[in-house]
Amino acid sequence: MKNLTFVVTLACSLTLAGYAADANTLWADHCAKCHGADGKGQTAMGKKLGVKDLTTTKLTAAEMEAVITAGKGKMTPFGAKLGAAEIKEVVAFVKGGLK
């Protein structure tokens, strides 16, 4: 029984560690250019486009998923570049304080 508990705990830990790395990589590859590593939108491109500070967003997860998927205003749609699971990872990353 102790071995089973250890294996389940290890599997969960590895899954969460992989999730964080994936979300961080997705953010760095697709979002940080405009939104910045910290999500505040203070990059050169973010300032040019009038990017909102995502650290204070009041958008729901569903609203964020819709914006990432279809784009909005000057934001490029990412629905053709990212899968639904990846978009959910990015949203969870933002909602989790970009950590």
Confidence of residue 99 (pLDDT cuts 50, 70, 90): confident
SS3 75: strand
Q: What are 75's strand-pairing partners?
A: 72
Domain boundaries, position 82: 2-95
Q: Read off the pTM.
A: 0.76
pLDDT tens digits, residue range 12-30? 433 444 444 598 999 999 9
50-62 burial: b if 16+ Cβ within 10 Å, else e: ebbebeeeeeeee
Beta carbons of 59 and 89 less than 8 angstroms apart: no
How many structural domains is the chain composed of? 1
- Which letter does DSSP use for residue 78 in this model? -
pLDDT tens digits, residue range 55-75? 999 999 999 999 999 999 999
Query: CATH code at 37?
Result: 1.10.760.10
pLDDT tens digits, residue range 2-12? 544 333 333 44
